Amino acid sequence: MKRFLTALVVLAAVLALTLIPAAAGDLAAQIQSYQLDNGLRVVLRQSGEQDIVTVAMAFKCGQDLEVKPEDYGLNFWTAFIMMMGTNRRPSMNAVLRPVEETGGAVSFASMASTTLFYSKVTSHNFFTALDTVSDVVRNPMIHEVYVGALQTLGDYVDSINTDDRGIAFTKLKEGIFGEHPYAHNAEGTGKAISTNGWSKYRKHHQIYFIPNNAVLFISGSFETEAAKTYVAQCFDSWKSGPEPPQPWESKAASGAVDFIKRGTSKQAHIYLGYRVPGISHQDGPALAVLSSIWGQGGLGSRMFQELRSKQGLAYECFSSYEWLDYTDPSMLYAYIGTAPEKVTTAQEGMRAQAEQFRNEPVSGDELARGQATVINSLYRIMQENTSQVIYMAFFESAGLGYDGFEKFADAVRAVKIEDVQRVAQKYFTDPVMTTVTPELP
């Protein structure tokens, strides 16, 4: 019976690997791309599945630009202030109202290397969404009053991730990324936010939020010629600027770290992580599969089966390859929430599993399940229109192109057993373990 169930699991994984690409091919065939004279790239993805349109403007700038402590949070809060009002819409309410009155939504997302402004509406409100996004990115007020209100949020910013689990995760990032900007929170520090003036935010906008540093994505149900006309109306007169400075070059991490601190909660929080490259690197697909086998694959993962089910070490356990949050470098880590008296055993179990990936090849069944989990999770997310646009923007910024999800999925399917062991041997060398527990072992 057990062999029969195992065969069913493997069969399901194989079917997932073979059936999903057809949908992906249909998705890519509907995409058109062109460029305006000011350097703005435009990507149109037509889909009649739903009567909606998502408009998104992606800029190649993010947390990876923030090298100096006084710059921490600069990109996130610049984007936030841009949403607070424009010359035509002098308040956040005025920015949001035209779209929200139609039942739509407008927002922004500040990622590691990409900043995205987007709006989702029904198809007949397409121009409203495009006009709103255009106004926000081209004509933000960045008023002294807004910046003054922002400067009062220093205590709030410093309170982010100050619970036991947050402290453990912050120390994990610091150990993995070292001097790289990814080591700090996207929101920065209270000191930086309380001292930066409006001129600094305005300068950041002028340097990075320009058409030749952006890609406009439009996805959903629309007429192509009408879309091109709307795009011309909103963006043809937008002037390009000098090529912005490049992100900070990555430096090596500080090496192995073992951090432990007495916490205040009843539960112990343990992270074990490694510095790894992002998904645009040739090893990215194999790292994604490894993480899926380790703990990102749910109930069938090694962490869940061994550390939680068999040994009873975890209230919660998982692993994560942070390829979306951190473009390059990235990190791959495992987490366990456990009882204080089980900390030492849980730490040893996590280290043992990491070493197992280095010393022993994974099984064929594990490889198939790991590949299927990575691909299925990606395509589940890609079913929703706005998520498609966000991922297209991310893959574009990562250097894989707006159709990078297909390239990544193909690369995951090509991962071999020896690839998983190879990347473990290559990158599982300087472990960073952080523990916050109410009782020190």
Mean pLDDT of the chain: 88
Q: Is residue 5 part of a domain?
A: no
- Evaluate whether residue 307 is within a structural domain: yes
Range from 7-11, 208-212, 247-251, 260-264 that averages highest in pLDDT: 208-212
Judge if 164 and 264 occupy the same domain. Answer: no
**E strands within 344-386?**
none
Q: Can you tell me the distance from the alpha carbon of 255 to that of 159, in angstroms, rounded to the nearest whole number?
A: 28
- Residues 191-212 have pLDDT tens digits of 999 999 999 999 999 999 999 9
* pTM of the predicted structure, to 2 decimals: 0.87
Residues 177 and 311 reside in one and the same domain:
no
pLDDT in tens, 79-112: 999 999 999 999 999 999 999 999 999 999 988 8
Q: Is residue 374 part of a domain?
A: yes
Whether residues 164 and 206 fall in one domain: yes
Name the percent of the chain lying above pLDDT 90: 62
Distances (CA, A) of 177 to 173, 251, 330, 342, 354: 6, 8, 8, 28, 19
Residue 114 CA: distances (Å) to CA of 4, 105, 342: 46, 20, 40
d(C-alpha 38, C-alpha 297), whole Å: 44
The yes-or-no verdict on residue 50 having pLDDT over 80 is: no
Q: Is the pLDDT of residue 8 over 80?
A: no
Looking at the fold, whether 214 and 279 belong to one and the same domain comes out as no
Q: Is the pLDDT of residue 62 over 60?
A: yes
Do residues 260 and 226 share a domain?
no
> What CATH number has the domain bearing residue 141?
3.30.830.10
Q: Are 112 and 326 in contact (CB under 8 A)?
A: yes
Q: Which of 190, 215, 258 is nearest to 61 (CA)?
A: 215
Residue 95 and residue 56 share a domain: yes
Q: Is the pLDDT of residue 76 over 50?
A: yes
Label the pairing between strands 330-338 and 268-276: antiparallel
Residue 48 predicted with pLDDT over 80: no
- pLDDT (average), residues 306-330: 88
Rounded (to 5) percent helix, strand, coil in the chain: 50, 20, 30
Question: Are 274 and 421 part of one and the same domain?
Answer: yes
Which domain-ending residue is among 187, 203, 235?
Answer: 235
- Residue 18 confidence (pLDDT) above 50: no
Q: Residues 206, 274: one domain?
A: no
Residue 17 lies in a domain: no
pLDDT tens across 346-374, in order? 999 999 999 999 999 999 999 999 999 99
Q: Which of 235, 268, 290 is the last residue of a domain?
A: 235
Q: CA end-to-end span of the chain, whole Å?
A: 43
- Is 94 within a domain? yes
Q: With 90 as the cut, is the pLDDT of residue 395 above it?
A: no
On whether both 217 and 286 belong to a single domain, the answer is: no
Distance CA 75, CA 68 (A): 13
pLDDT for 12 equals 37
Residue 253: band (very low, low, confident or very high) from pLDDT cuts 50, 70, 90: low
Cβ pair 278, 330 in contact under 8 A: yes
Residue 202 falls within a domain, yes or no?
yes
Q: Which of 235, 265, 294 is the last residue of a domain?
A: 235
Predicted confidence (pLDDT) at residue 403 exceeds the cutoff of 50: yes
Shared domain for 97 and 231, answered yes or no, is: yes
Number of domains in the chain: 2
Q: Same structural domain for residues 222 and 270?
A: no
- Domain match, 223 and 315 both: no
Which structural domain range is residue 227 located in? 29-235
Q: Is residue 290 one of the residues assigned to a domain? A: yes
Q: Is residue 327 part of a domain?
A: yes
